[in-house]
Amino acid sequence: MASSSASADVKPELSSSSSSSSSAASAAAAAPSRPVLFWGSGSPPAWRVCAVLLEKGVDFDGRRVQFDSGFLKTPEFLALNPRGLVPSLIDGDLVLYESLAILHYLEDKYPAVRLIPKEPAAKARCLMRMQEANNASSAAGEVVYYVRRTRPESINFPYLRCKFAVLAEELKLWESYLAGAEYLAGPGQGVSLADFAFFPNLAYMVRLGLELEPNYPNLKAYFCRMCARKSILASWPPHWLKSHGLPCLSSSILPPVEGATREACEAVAASAGAGSVPPTDVPCSRMNTADRCPVSARDVVAAAARGEESPAKC
């Protein structure tokens, strides 16, 4: 993530000659001269806030938190955010968490770049899409969690196919929202908070193998359009540029079955349940290296910035 200053990693293992995670939180809360954002690479909610800060040209101090460092559960950080999550924004004496609330605050605090339309219908549509954005991540999360936490030999493919069908229905809604519109506030409207609320979720799904072609041409064009924005490019999760995600959302992990719809799967889902979900992180046996997207996230972003078609097929 880029900001007006170098983004600092917050790590509890730093030596006494450096700022510890605790002192970093305490110092940020004490007397920040500009907004301080605690964020984590790959967190869609944190990405929302990073991108909006950059889109609005806000001078802020980004503090990157390593999720495996334990910092989010320290007493010092929990004093700022009792839920122990990112994003967390400190602006003067005000401490905010929950990404959508932060987006609304930034819209009011920094009105020079407006990201909520003034026209009543477009404004309502923008706010509605913001509230809907997490539905997409929830539908995707049902698939991702099951695949990542179920042993290969225990995968219940009819059940998994049902989860994919639910996700497809959700994506069809977003595809329809973009019919005749470049952005989610509707036809003739520019980028809005709705786009910054939804796009990180979509990018996360693409990273995990979601195919936008051929079923979602509007979403595919929208994905490339958003990728070309400087605020999105500058806040792209750093570790995504270095690695591929496990393709949990790629249809290639499913055996081909005709007529697999949500309706056809509901009875199976009701009777099968989630099956065995042991505390392991074993990928599905169908997820071999050939299933992985051969093009890096860096190539996707670079192509979008040049206005070219994405080289990635996933």
Give the distance, in angstroms, between the CA of residue 26 and the centroid of all CA atoms in the same chain. Answer: 28
Nearest-CA neighbor of 155 among 285, 5, 2?
285
Residue 284 counted as domain residue = yes
- Answer for the pair 40, 86: CB distance below 8 angstroms, yes or no: yes
> Is residue 41 classed exposed, middle or buried when 0-12, 13-18 and 19+ CB atoms within 10 A define those classes?
buried
* Residue-level pLDDT at 252: 86
Nearest-CA neighbor of 223 among 166, 178, 176?
178
Our count of domains for the chain comes to 2
Joined tokens for residue 163: 């989860």
Residues 6+ apart with CB under 8 A from 194: 125, 126, 127, 128, 129, 130, 133, 183, 184, 185
Report the distance separating Cα 123 and Cα 274, nearest Å: 40
Under the banding of pLDDT at 50, 70 and 90, the label for residue 26 is low
> Is residue 237 classed exposed, middle or buried when 0-12, 13-18 and 19+ CB atoms within 10 A define those classes?
buried
Q: Which domain holds residue 199?
A: 120-305
Same domain membership, residue 143 and residue 92: no
* Residue-level pLDDT at 312: 37
Same domain membership, residue 266 and residue 221: yes
Given 74, 109, 144, the domain boundary residue is 109
* Residue-level pLDDT at 200: 98
Under the banding of pLDDT at 50, 70 and 90, the label for residue 289 is very low
Summarize the confidence of residues 172-189 as an average pLDDT.
98
Place of tokens 């074993």: 282
Tell me which of 20 and 153 has the higher pLDDT: 153
Same domain membership, residue 141 and residue 93: no
Given 84, 109, 134, the domain boundary residue is 109
Same domain membership, residue 294 and residue 197: yes
Same domain membership, residue 135 and residue 47: no
Under the banding of pLDDT at 50, 70 and 90, the label for residue 152 is confident
Same domain membership, residue 162 and residue 63: no
Residue type, 278: P
Same domain membership, residue 84 and residue 38: yes
Report the distance separating Cα 161 and Cα 255, nearest Å: 9
Dihedral pair phi/psi, residue 246, rounded to 5°: -65, 125
Residue 79 counted as domain residue = yes
Residue 313 counted as domain residue = no
Under the banding of pLDDT at 50, 70 and 90, the label for residue 5 is very low
- Answer for the pair 194, 129: CB distance below 8 angstroms, yes or no: yes
Is pLDDT above 70 for 9?
no
Report the distance separating Cα 113 and Cα 228, nearest Å: 18
Summarize the confidence of residues 78-104 as an average pLDDT.
97
User: Percentage of the chain surpassing pLDDT 90?
Assistant: 67
Summarize the confidence of residues 102-127 as an average pLDDT.
98
Same domain membership, residue 142 and residue 87: no
Given 42, 77, 109, the domain boundary residue is 109
Is pLDDT above 70 for 305?
no
* Residue-level pLDDT at 257: 56
Strand 94-97 and strand 88-91: the pairing is antiparallel
Nearest-CA neighbor of 39 among 267, 236, 197, 257?
236
Residue 2 counted as domain residue = no
- Other CB atoms within 10 A of residue 13 CB: 11
Summarize the confidence of residues 31-54 as an average pLDDT.
93
Q: What is the CATH number of the domain that holds 33?
A: 3.40.30.10
* Residue-level pLDDT at 255: 76
Residue 278 counted as domain residue = yes
Same domain membership, residue 208 and residue 91: no
Is pLDDT above 60 for 159?
yes
Same domain membership, residue 263 and residue 162: yes
User: What is the per-residue pLDDT across 65-75, written as a single tens digit (0 to 9) for each?
Assistant: 999 999 999 99
Residue 151 counted as domain residue = yes
Give the distance, in angstroms, between the CA of residue 213 and the centroid of all CA atoms in the same chain. Answer: 20
- Answer for the pair 310, 224: CB distance below 8 angstroms, yes or no: yes
Under the banding of pLDDT at 50, 70 and 90, the label for residue 1 is low
Residue 71 counted as domain residue = yes
Is pLDDT above 50 for 221?
yes
Q: What is the CATH number of the domain that holds 169?
A: 1.20.1050.10
* Residue-level pLDDT at 105: 99
Residue 185 counted as domain residue = yes
Summarize the confidence of residues 255-261 as an average pLDDT.
57
- Answer for the pair 148, 160: CB distance below 8 angstroms, yes or no: no
- Identify the three-state secondary structure at position 89: strand
Same domain membership, residue 242 and residue 186: yes
Same domain membership, residue 92 and residue 160: no
